[in-house]
Every structure is written in C-alpha cells, then in structure tokens.
C-alpha cells in the first residue's frame, strides 16, 4: 500500500513538472534582456497549474538591470506559441503593488 501511494504522488509531481508555460525570450534592439517569471496560471489539455512568486521587488532583487532607450521596442518570442497571452506592468504604490494589464 505504501508503494502504491508513492507511485501516485510521484506521477502527480511529474505531471506538474511537465505542465509549464512556454519560455519567453525578451529582446530590445536585438539584445536579449533578462527577466524573472512571476506568479502565473497555466492550463493545457485539461490540466492546470498555479504558481505563486514573491512580490516584484523581492523577485527581482538579484536581477541584472537592463538599460534601454525610451523608444526602444521590446520583442517577446516563445519556445512555442501559446493560444492566449496576457501581461502587465507592476507598479509600486507606497508598498502596494498593482498590476496594470
């Protein structure tokens, strides 16, 4: 009985590891820029996963800064094309973070 429970848990973890959103690549003026993936929800083939992350200021604490010109174009490509994409900009309003989509 113990072995059977372990196999179920192991299979469940394996399914969750396989269910990940596509990996984006961000480029500005042809130069790849770094990023950190934040909180997300992802579903595919009747499976879903929700992942939480730290607040934006804690998430990017050791992320390299990327300086770009004000009119630079950001291009986002994916390792495979998702059917729906949604993004936003996090703003710090006196310690309260809001997401503008």
pLDDT digits (tens, 9 = 90+) for 24-42: 999 998 899 888 888 888 8
Domain boundaries, the chain: 18-100
The answer to whether 76 touches 26, Cβ cutoff 8 Å, is yes
- pLDDT tens per residue, range 44-94: 888 898 888 888 888 888 888 888 888 899 899 988 887 877 777 777 676
Closest Cα partner for 90 from 54, 64, 62, 66? 54
Q: Determine the pLDDT at residue 68.
A: 86
Strands (E), the chain: 24-28, 31-33, 40-44, 47-51, 74-78, 89-93, 96-100
């Amino acid at each position: 009985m113990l072995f059977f429970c372990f196999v179920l848990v192991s299979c469940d973890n394996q399914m969750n590891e396989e269910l990940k959103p596509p990996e984006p690549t961000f480029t500005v003026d042809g130069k790849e820029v770094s990023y950190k993936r934040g909180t997300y929800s992802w579903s595919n083939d009747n499976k879903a996963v929700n992942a939480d992350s730290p607040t934006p200021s804690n998430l990017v604490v050791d992320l390299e800064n990327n300086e770009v010109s004000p009119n630079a174009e950001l291009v986002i490509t994916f390792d495979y094309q998702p059917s729906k994409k949604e993004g936003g900009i996090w703003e710090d309003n006196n310690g309260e973070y809001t997401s503008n989509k």
